[in-house]
Amino acid sequence: MDSSIFPKSFAWGAATAAYQVEGGWDADGKGLNVWDTFTHQGGDRVFKNQTGDVACGSYTLWEEDLKCIKQLGLTHYRFSLSWSRLLPDGTTGFINQKGIDYYNKMIDTLLENNVIPIVTLYHFDMPQALEDQGGWQSEKTAGVFEEYAEFCFKTFGDRVKMWITINEPYVVAKYGYEDGLFAPGKKEQGIGAYQAAHNMIKAHAKAWHNYNMFFRNQQKGLVSIALDSDWAEPFDPNSTTDKEATERYLSFHLHWFAKPIFIDGDYPEIMKSEIFKKSKHQGLQLSRLPEFTNEEKVKIKGTADFFCLNYYTTRKIRPRKTTHDEPSYSSDMAAEGIKDPNWPISSIEWLAVVPWGIRKLLKYIKDTFANPIIYITENGFAQSNPASLEDTQRWTYFQETLLEILKAIKLDRVSVKGYLVWSLLDNFEWISGYSARFGLFHVDFHRIDLPRTPYISAIEYSKVVKRNGLTKPMECFGSPHNS
Ligand code: GAL
């Protein structure tokens, strides 16, 4: 048996997000979102104060993106809807038809080319009008998000069958409302991230129920949420304190969202007890971690039809010494993640390349969350600018990662059904601007026509997609205990 082949009907894709590729920030009635505001404010929070105003120009150059997708032979394409392009002030009070037309064109042409759309409703770009009313820190936003989701199901759900409500709520909460590194740039340590996460979980659950109740029977689609997670293991595998720190690290990141949604509607016990303990020490009566009511727990539990995993890297974990006097997420978690100096670093400092981490994480998700169907909705490696089209090293990383996924499927029996590369195109990489290139296709940002050119990785990936397997046949892996 040739072990290099993936299961039948495996989904091969690539992903993008509206703010990172579309440009057209004020075109045709689009409303402002928090990234428009954040980048326009300057202040050196983004590399060279770059913005997504033009980005890859996908708003006008969609046909060029489609050519890339066809050249790769993808079966699936994941993209996000710009909330404020569709609903300029975030509410259904005013609908921008030009936005609907744009996404209709994308969805229809994808389907004409036998490419299945996977659509994310929210990928970091909250309408500014809603942010002005508290954004994710306001409970009201959960209800407004449900209306937006319902509007999208109604408008596009006859053709879109795979929905992702929110991309990486961890990143939104932690970077957007705790550290202030990402839009909306709020730095409310030890409070902001927990509030934002709380309302995102509620928003997701509301959207899932809305679909379940009003659309599922007729449209027969699936709804999930994309969770990012590092693989994490103890710095010293024999140290009890390192093992405990690892448990905290996973609880405060993956389980923060996955436990309520996939298991029981509530936060991990470790988060609840640690934050309560520290809140008390800081003189507070109540925990800084908000609580779900029993009714909410019932509504949140079981609100994902499959598991979307965004995997980039791995960390070795040990306790972080803190005083606990000042409230913060980091001192609540009291764990730090270390990069092994032997791991190669991609062009982005946090992205240590650890392909074997994905296999371990997949097995962990299988064992912890009752063997869900998993789509890897993002995985990728950045090159620095200027990037060579001959990215052979990067293609080696992709191959190594795919081999680990194959092992997870064949040896560990994890139900992985798809793999999507981040990203189809080089694009606006948040605070790194255009300095980090994640694309399968190079984009020349200096030229007005923003030409797309395949990297070696794109050419090689298209062969994998075509073969539904790695390009070199392999001997059988052998027994499930081999690695
Ligand atoms: C993810 C995010 C993407 C992309 C990627 C690479 O966190 O969803 O938008 O930027 O990281 O850093």
| Closest ligand 1 atom, residue 20 Cα | 9
Give the angle 120-306-297 at the CA atoms, nearest 5°. Answer: 90
Extract the runs of DSSP E, i.e. beta strands, from 261-390. 307-310, 314-319, 335-338, 374-378, 383-384
Number of independent structural domains in the chain: 1
Return averaged pLDDT per consecutive 10 residues of the chain, 483 residues in all.
Answer: 90 99 98 98 98 99 99 99 99 98 99 99 99 98 99 99 99 98 98 99 99 98 99 98 98 99 98 97 97 98 98 98 87 97 92 98 98 98 94 96 98 98 98 98 98 98 97 65 47
pLDDT on residue 2: 78
Q: Which two tokens stand for residue 107?
A: 């969805």
Within a domain: residue 145? yes
Q: Which two tokens stand for residue 173?
A: 């909460």
Residue 215 DSSP label: T
Within a domain: residue 430? yes
| Closest ligand 1 atom, residue 430 Cα | 10
| Closest ligand 1 atom, residue 167 Cα | 8
pLDDT on residue 473: 67
CA of 267 to the centre of ligand 1 (A): 24
Within a domain: residue 316? no
Provide CB contacts within 8 A for 433, sequence distance 6+: 46, 47, 48, 50
Strand, coil or helix: what is 336?
strand
Over 226-286, what HEC string results? EEECCEEEECCCCCHHHHHHHHHHHHHHHHHHHHHHHHHCCCCHHHHHHHHHHHHHCCCCC
CATH of the domain at 40: 3.20.20.80
Within a domain: residue 442? yes
Within a domain: residue 258? no
**Pairing between β-strand 374-378 and β-strand 307-310 as defined by DSSP bridges:** parallel
CA of 325 to the centre of ligand 1 (A): 32
**Pairing between β-strand 314-319 and β-strand 307-310 as defined by DSSP bridges:** unpaired
How many whole angstroms separate alpha carbon 267 and alpha carbon 264?
8
| Closest ligand 1 atom, residue 348 Cα | 12
What is the best residue among 21, 79, 175, 422 to mutate for testing ligand 1's pocket, by most ligand atoms within 8 Å of CB? Answer: 422
CA-proximal residue: ligand 1, atom 10 (nearest): 429
CA of 474 to the centre of ligand 1 (A): 32
CA of 74 to the centre of ligand 1 (A): 20
CB within 6 Å of ligand 1 — which residues?
Answer: 17, 20, 167-168, 171, 228, 310, 378, 422, 429-430, 438
**Cis status, amide bond into 184, omega within 30 of 0:** yes
How many whole angstroms separate alpha carbon 124 and alpha carbon 59?
18
Within a domain: residue 253? no
What is the best residue among 378, 423, 424 to mutate for testing ligand 1's pocket, by most ligand atoms within 8 Å of CB? Answer: 378
CA of 15 to the centre of ligand 1 (A): 10
- Residue 426 belongs to what domain range? 11-230+348-357+377-467
Q: Report the Cα–Cα distance between both ends of the chain, in Å, rounded.
A: 17
Within a domain: residue 480? no
Q: Which two tokens stand for residue 316?
A: 């070795």
Out of 168, 233, 274, 404, the active site residue is 168
Write the CA distances from 452 to 22, 33, 378, 434, 455, integer angstroms. 14, 26, 20, 15, 10
pLDDT on residue 477: 72
What is the best residue among 347, 353, 429 to mutate for testing ligand 1's pocket, by most ligand atoms within 8 Å of CB? Answer: 429
**Pairing between β-strand 436-437 and β-strand 416-422 as defined by DSSP bridges:** unpaired
Extract the runs of DSSP E, i.e. beta strands, from 132-214. 162-167
Out of 131, 178, 378, 429, the active site residue is 378
Give the angle 106-376-269 at the CA atoms, nearest 5°. Answer: 125
Q: Which two tokens stand for residue 239?
A: 């140290």
CA of 58 to the centre of ligand 1 (A): 18
CA of 309 to the centre of ligand 1 (A): 12
Within a domain: residue 2? no
Query: Tokens 């209306």 map to which residue?
Result: 147
pLDDT on residue 476: 65
Q: Does 168 participate in catalysis according to the annotation? A: yes
Q: Does 378 participate in catalysis according to the annotation? A: yes
